[in-house]
Structure 1
């Protein structure tokens, strides 16, 4: 499928086709990161300005929290970072009041050994949105990043077995939505997105009953499912989750929540028009 390149600057058109009731509120980008997480660029205010330039009426920062992860590279905020994040967020709310609604949220990476610490962190401050995700898999006492493109990390997953990695990942997500007070499940099927064998392994996982378990728990808890448009950059013409998973989620009447997962200001609202 050949798609024209989409500019990520300039106003975003949110015109739905006539007679089509929108399932997504494309006036808000509900998932952006900043340089605070060490793998994105740009200050918080740059993302706000980018959202305004795109014609958005709302923006939710969803910065990374991880607990107990043993990894040589930190990709999440420290306690000091979160203190600054909240302070700067409140300043931006005051400055841009009446122009754009700014949400301060957190994307929680699930670690089954740190459930109590994670709950304590979430309870310490109010959050506008709590995204649930899982970025790391413990193999032999070390955590490996499931979204990494590093060849050494991918080799570890090769040795473990790509389908086994995905099965473990979905099981962790099932535990996370059951145990943590999340409001939205992020990038459901993005694990191993840089592995060359992920597509057939993921297709095989579609029969895994744990996926239906995830959706059942989400429905019972009123959790939304994120439609993550970073997928357009990582797999051909498709957001996360895949259409089959999206259909199964809609069968349970799950709310849908669009997010760009922007790691650069110019990525705010990226590919939203593709969702129409």
Structure 2
């Protein structure tokens, strides 16, 4: 059963590509009538890219200190979780595992935002025409094949509690639809779901998809139907990057999932 009173995936200005302070997100969640909110700030290791869109060590120190302050201040009003969204980089597994072991996290979201091509990494969720051109030259289907293969590794190699925006890669690329549909129906997603089921990992329904691809969240209904066969726990996340996006489109979440129907 999907809990629509919890937003399990929000970001703040700490990640350098969102806006707003942590307290503004808590207040927005209260205005929405939510019972719980989970910050899921970005961590990346070994990424070679011109633009840093994740937290550094000092950012995480502030994040935890401010999060604890907000927990005390709003203790009687809302539950506040401090989590991390870990970008999978197979070349940096020891560093990622060491980072995760440093603190207790309320949630650990797994994702893959960057693909190594040549001597640098390219953002799979970028809408920059120059980045999209790189993926066009590299091959859209080839990019997606490698993306899903990396996720299949991530869910076996890292102690995640949820898998984030499963089918969001190349969401801004004009040629993504056909190869994404083909790969989504293939065996790699079965491998991912099977590994998640063994580990009790939740599948995130990410409502930012209603903005990026209009009437569909991440993952698609077809992928949700396949995941249902593995009885995966589900969690709702707005992937908010602005306070006003907290809980966005939760009213569109599939009613059978909210009701707990099969």
1:178 aligns with 2:156: yes
1:77 aligns with 2:66: no
CA distance in 1, matches of 2:27, 2:184: 40
Match of 1:235 in 2: 213
CA distance in 1, matches of 2:68, 2:185: 45
Output one character per residue of 1:183-229: Cα deviation in whole Å (capped at 9) or x when no partner: 00000000000001111111121243111100000000000000000
Output one character per residue of 1:17-68: Cα deviation in whole Å (capped at 9) or x when no partner: xxxxxx2100010000000000000000000000000000100000000000
Partner residue of 1:95 out of 73, 76, 94? 73
Superposition RMSD on alpha carbons, in Å?
A: 0.6
TM-score norm. by structure 2 comes to: 0.96
Secondary structure in structure 2 of the residue aligned to 1:138: strand
Residues 131-210 of structure 1: pairs in structure 2 closer than 5 A: 131-210=109-188
- Which stretches of structure 1, 4 residues or more, deviate above 3 A after TM superposition? none
Match of 2:88 in 1: 110
Q: Point out where structure 1 has 5 or more consecutive residues left out of the alignment.
A: 1-22
CA distance in 2, matches of 1:40, 1:206: 29
1:56 aligns with 2:67: no
CA distance in 2, matches of 1:144, 1:150: 10
Output one character per residue of 1:143-165: Cα deviation in whole Å (capped at 9) or x when no partner: 00000000000000000110110
Partner residue of 1:273 out of 242, 251, 260? 251
CA distance in 2, matches of 1:268, 1:203: 29
**How many Å apart are 1:236 and its aligned residue?**
2.4
Q: Point out where structure 2 has 5 or more consecutive residues left out of the alignment.
A: 256-262
The number of equivalent residue pairs is: 254
**How many Å apart are 1:125 and its aligned residue?**
0.3
